[in-house]
Amino acid sequence: LILTADHGNDPTWRGTDHTRERVPVIGIGPGLKGGDIGLRPTFADIGETVADHLDLAAGRHGTSFLATIGGHA
C-alpha cells in the first residue's frame, strides 16, 4: 500500500495556489523496511516508484526508490 498526496501545501498560506511544501509518502507491505528516504530531488520519484511497483515501464522523469525501501527491483 502506498499513500501519498498530489501536492504539499503550507497551511498558513491564504491564497488558492499550491505552495512548494514537501509531499508525504508512506508505504507498507510485505518486505518493505521502515525508515526515512530523505528529501527526493523531484516529486516525479513517487510516480516512478509506483510505476516500478506495478511493473510498468519507466517514465522520462524521476527515479524509483522502490529498491531502497526493500521492494522488488
Q: What is the pLDDT along the chain (73 residues), one digit of tens a residue?
A: 888 887 777 778 787 777 777 788 888 888 888 788 888 888 899 999 999 989 999 889 999 999 988 877 5
| Domain assignment of residue 9, given as a range | 1-73
- The reported pLDDT for the residue numbered 37 is 86
The whole-model pTM stands at 0.74
Number of domains making up the chain? 1
Spatial CB neighbours of 24, under 8 Å, sequence gap ≥ 6: 3, 4, 5, 8
At position 51, the amino acid (one-letter code) is A
